Chain A
Amino acid sequence: MDIKTPKLAVNIGDLCIANPIMTASGTFGYGREYENFVDLSQIGAIVVKGISLQPRPGNPPPRIVETACGMLNAIGLENVGLDRFIQDKMPYLRQQNCCVIVNVLGDSIEEYCQLAEQLNDVEGVSGLELNISCPNVKKGGVAFGTNESMAHAVTNAVRKLTKLPLIVKLSPNVTDIGAIACAVEEGGADSVSLINTLIGMAISIKTRKPILANVIGGLSGPAIKPIALRMVYQTADRVKIPIIGIGGISTWQDAVEFLLAGATAIQVGTANFVNPKAVEEIRQGLTEYLVEQKMESIKELTGAAKR
């Protein structure tokens, strides 16, 4: 019996990825951390830990705390910095034949621009993801991710400097995520990825103090999935560019839901911590689902819940 293997490839702007399963920034290190568990070359795209121009030490501990069906983190964007990323991390990723998307973060538009310019010609970099969910920027201290005009400005500035596929990762800690999505689409983004973590906190009833040294942190994991799914569903009505769904995706069923809600691809985040083989299991499950549903391409799923 001839059963056609369903097509998993999807397009994010000009970037064609072999399957829609990506790893979320900050949950997959620089890729190598997972080499003992998964075939890195088989992942749709690896979004590496957020990179800044200079190395960042991160926040004081405690940095994480478990909550019901989730976790809070306040890592503080600890990363090796751009130079060491290019020198120490990229050669390995190139060798593994991975599709690499670099998540970049800065304190000013100039910093985002410098990062984009320097990554333009790095062999093996397939795309950029702008992290505009980090607080305290130069211009008035407003977060890029929570202000439409600033979100537009940073996207547009980077767009002018790079031909790399440009994804902008959106914060859910806003009144209208769709408005921010529209602003970055207008600014020239090829795709939006959503959602980043939701701001939350936990208090120790023993010490009567916040558990995280940073007091507040980002909530992730299965607990946030319904919110993320709703935001993807609503944003899909507002933008034409492809949406990458993120937020608590732990199983292939979760991934299907995000695709049905309107996502073209998905990112697996916190689930990688719990199950280092999560991306592989989700890909396998998705493939079997498509076969069972007699679908030829995964693209048929995108937005189907709206039709």
Chain B
Amino acid sequence: MEQQNATISKIERLCTDIVRLTLYAPSIAAKAKPGQFINLKTGPGFDPLLRRPFSIHNIDGEGHLQVIFKILGKGTSALADLRQSQTINIVGPLGNHFQASPSMCLIGGGLGIAPLLFLARSILGQQDVPTLKIILAARNKQELSCFTPEFEALDLPLYLATDDGSLGHHGLVTELMPTALSGDTDWQVCSCGPHPMMSAVATICRQHKWRCQVSLETMMACGISACLGCAVPASDHNNTGKQYLHVCQDGPIFWEGDIKWT
């Protein structure tokens, strides 16, 4: 991990409130693995004070990395107002990463779709490419379309769903899982999205004895395990006495069995 000033190569509004930020940060991009995140300072001042963590959406092999975010508050509004060729202070790559397996299904919801592109591309770049399926969902067509072009270009089995039915299946990702994951295959699921979605995906995986990794998000101050602010309850199935895990250090990627789902 390192701290550096990265130049904004491109900043694009993918729809009204979703922004894709392309940064030139060669040393961080070179080290990054799918599932890891960077911590961005939104500006030079003290308000907003804290950095904002974003999972890495994509890297291009030429020193660029991308993140995608939704404009929700002060920090993301400040970021959205940045312009090409401005610099931004980033720390990364942070956290652990997804692990590959011979038969994989990536399930993303909303902005949680972001890290799955990097993961899918990285899996396709392996020597032995595993069976790979992708299920993506969002609120509506507008939101989902911010992500679909890059995934469609991968030419993989792609299943889409929206809450309002404006694109793909009208409903939840979990309703697409039986179709996408039929057969006796020993699947490994990698999921990122709203907490209830990941919880539901994890439940289905447990029923089928599929391994399942989830990417968690919490409030975070430092991103380097100094503040201990990003705690999540642990299942502690090994009885180590550990009540909490830390998203920045133990995650953001967790085996679903390690989490105490609430």
State which residues 216-255 of B face A: CB under 8 Å: 218-222, 224-233, 241-244
Q: Decide yes or no whether A276 CB sits under 8 A from chain B.
A: yes
What chain B residues lie within 8 Å of A28 (beta carbons)? Answer: 226
Q: Which residue of B lies closest to A57 (CB)?
A: B243
Contact of A69 among B2, B47, B220 (CB under 8 A): B47
- Of A33, A61, A63, A221, which one neighbours B224 at CB under 8 angstroms? A33
B89, B221, B242, B243: which contacts A64 (Cβ < 8 A)?
Answer: B221
The residues of A that contact B33 with a CB separation of less than 8 Å are none
Please give, as numbers and ranges, the residues of chain A lying within 8 Å of B225 by CB-CB distance. Answer: 29, 33
Q: Which residue of B lies closest to A33 (CB)?
A: B226
Q: Which residues of A contact B2 (CB under 8 A)?
A: 36-37
With most chain A CB atoms within 10 A of its CB, the pick from B225, B227, B242 is B227
B49 contacts across to A, CB distance below 8 A: 66, 69-71, 221-222, 270, 274
Quick one: closest B residue to A30, CB to CB?
B226
Q: From B3, B222, B244, give the contact of A78 (CB < 8 A).
A: B244
With an 8 A cutoff between CB atoms, is B64 at the interface? no
User: Given contacts A57-B243, A71-B50, A276-B3, is CB(A62)–CB(B219) below 8 Å?
Assistant: yes
Inter-chain residue pair count (beta carbon < 8 A): 99
The one of A62, A221, A277 in contact with B3, judged by C-beta atoms closer than 8 angstroms, is A277
- In the bound complex, residues from chain A placing their C-beta under 8 Å from that of B243 are 57-58
B47 in contact with A75 (CB, 8 Å): no
A272 at interface, CB cutoff 8 A? yes
Chain A minimum-CB-distance residue to B2? A36
B1 interface residue per 8 A CB criterion: yes
Instruction: Tell me, rounded to whole Å, the shortest Cβ–Cβ distance linking B218 to chain A.
Output: 6
What residues on B are CB-neighbors of A63 within 8 Å? Answer: 219, 228-231
List CB contacts (< 8 Å) of B39-93 with chain A: 41, 46-51, 89, 91
Q: How far is the CB of A251 from chain B (nearest CB, A)?
A: 10
Interface size class on chain A is 35 or more
Given contacts A64-B219, A65-B219, contact A34 B224 (CB under 8 A): yes
Closest B residue by C-beta to A212: B219
CA distance A75 to B227 in the complex (A): 8
| Binary B-proximity of A68-80 (CB < 8 A = 1, otherwise 0) | 1111010100100
Main secondary structure on B side of the interface with A:
loop
User: What is the bound-complex CA distance between A59 and B230, given in angstroms?
Assistant: 11
Q: How many of chain B's residues have a CB under 8 angstroms from any CB in A?
A: 31
Could you tell me which residues of chain A, from 73 to 106, have a CB within 8 Å of some CB in chain B?
73, 75, 78
Given contacts A63-B229, A274-B41, contact A71 B221 (CB under 8 A): yes
A58 lies within 8 A of B244 (CB): yes
| B48 and A64 within 8 A (CB) | no
CB proximity of B44 to chain A, nearest CB, Å:
11
Q: Are B229 and A75 in contact (CB under 8 A)?
A: yes
Chain A residues within an 8 Å CB radius of B228: 49, 58, 63, 75, 78
Could you tell me if A69 and B233 are in contact, using CB atoms closer than 8 angstroms?
no
Residue numbers in A under 8 Å from B47 (CB-CB): 68-69
Are A276 and B50 in touch, CB under 8 angstroms? Answer: no
- Contact yes or no, A274 B226, CB < 8 A: no
- CB contacts under 8 Å to B, within A274-298, are 274-277
Q: Nearest Cβ in chain B — how far from A221, in angstroms?
A: 5
Decide: A273 and B50 in contact? CB cutoff 8 A.
Answer: yes
A278 to B183, CA, bound (A): 55
Contact with B along A140-153 (1 / 0, CB 8 A): 00000000000000
| B242: nearest chain-A partner, CB-CB | A57
Contact B222 A272 (CB under 8 A): yes
Binary per-residue interface labels of chain B (1-45) against chain A in the complex, 1 for a CB within 8 Å, 0 otherwise? 111000000000000000000000000000000000000010000
- Does A210 lie at the interface of the complex (its beta carbon under 8 Å from any beta carbon of B)? no
- Report the minimum CB–CB distance from A246 to chain B (whole Å): 16
Chain B residues with CB under 8 Å of A114's CB are none
Residues of B within 8 A of A (CB): 1-3, 41, 46-51, 89, 91, 218-222, 224-233, 241-244
9 nearest A-B pairs in the assembled complex, by CB-CB distance: A64-B229, A29-B226, A273-B222, A57-B243, A273-B221, A222-B46, A33-B226, A69-B46, A69-B47
Query: Can you name 20 extra interface pairs (CB under 8 A) apart from A60-B233, A65-B219, A270-B49?
Result: A29-B225, A36-B1, A57-B243, A57-B244, A61-B232, A62-B219, A68-B47, A69-B49, A71-B50, A75-B229, A270-B221, A273-B51, A273-B221, A273-B222, A273-B226, A274-B49, A274-B50, A274-B51, A275-B89, A276-B224
